Structure 1
Amino acid sequence: MSESHSSKERKYSIVLFSDDSSVREAIIGALGNRVAPEMAEHVIHEFATGAALRLFVDGKKPGTDKPIDLFILDAESVPEGGLGIARQLKDEVFNCPPVLVITGRKADAWLAAWSRAEANVLHPIDPFTLSATVADLLRTRTTALSTL
């Protein structure tokens, strides 16, 4: 068994927010158990409200809890959208993990930039685009953390 598939390797922790359960299901289905063959598996923490997501993030204890590696936020959620949550996370979370926002239109790219998200993917979810984007963000995060 290769080192990258070792059972001792920490799973990536992904936080997923969307008020729409079908969007959450599409994202989870697109990501599968791992986003690339050479990468570790991941665990996904699902949230349907911004309040529940913030309680989860606020409850994380540095050094004792598994860190969050990536946020995936649905910009089309109501009443609170993922773009506002992304901006708040970037403002309030020390060394904030990368944020991927799912937007409804290509023209919303400027809103994704305003939210300070590292990437955005369009609805409807394309599994290949989403997996490749998530893999790139996780690789970047892993590289950044290894240099600290």
Structure 2
Amino acid sequence: MTHADHSAARDQVHAVVLYSPKVEWRQAVRTAIGRRPAADVGRIEWIECATYDEVIENVDRGGVDLAILDGEAQPTGGMGLSRQMKYELDDCPAVLVVVAREADRWLATWSLADATLIYPVDPLSAGDVVAQQLRNRNAGVPVLR
């Protein structure tokens, strides 16, 4: 990658949907990840969604690079929402499901999530996981289907 390519990647803005009905959950996840999860992937523009309808509206509009979903959300959980998006969208963004327990990661696999994090989100690993999903999106790596 040339210097110009690195500069372009650093200047890129990534639209990231952050879904949970709990404002404190969204704030904690957003704080753990930050606005720039890695120097080489650019900045995040957070699109906070408190409802299923808001997620669908934003993703349907296009341009979303990553959806970070609360796996414990009620009444519509992030795992069901992940699975629905994977089956119904031709250009589905990468999906990261945040689960409450390590044992729930298998459910996130069922949901076809591209990655998982455990809540409370560890700021040391969260940025790496998010950055990898954004790198994959930039490189055209297909998401799970």
**TM-score band w.r.t. shorter chain:** 0.7 to 0.9
SS in 1 for 2:64: coil
Match of residue 35 from structure 1: 37
CA distance in 2, matches of 1:55, 1:13: 14
- Equivalences for 1:1-148 in 2 at 5 Å? 3=4, 4-5=6-7, 9-58=11-60, 60=61, 67-144=63-140
Deviation, 1:5, is: 4.6
For structure 1, the residue ranges without an aligned partner over 5 or more in a row are 62-66
With the length of structure 2 as denominator, give the TM-score of the two structures.
0.87
Deviation, 1:85, is: 0.4
CA deviation map 1:62-114 (0-9, x unaligned): xxxxx111010000111110000000110111131210000011111111011
SS in 2 for 1:69: strand
Deviation, 1:10, is: 3.3
Aligned pair count reads 138
SS in 2 for 1:22: helix
SS in 2 for 1:15: strand
CA distance in 1, matches of 2:7, 2:35: 12
CA distance in 1, matches of 2:29, 2:7: 23
CA distance in 2, matches of 1:12, 1:102: 19
CA distance in 2, matches of 1:71, 1:81: 13
Deviation, 1:56, is: 2.1
Q: CA RMSD in A?
A: 1.9
Kept in 2: contact 1:5–1:39 (CA 8 A): no
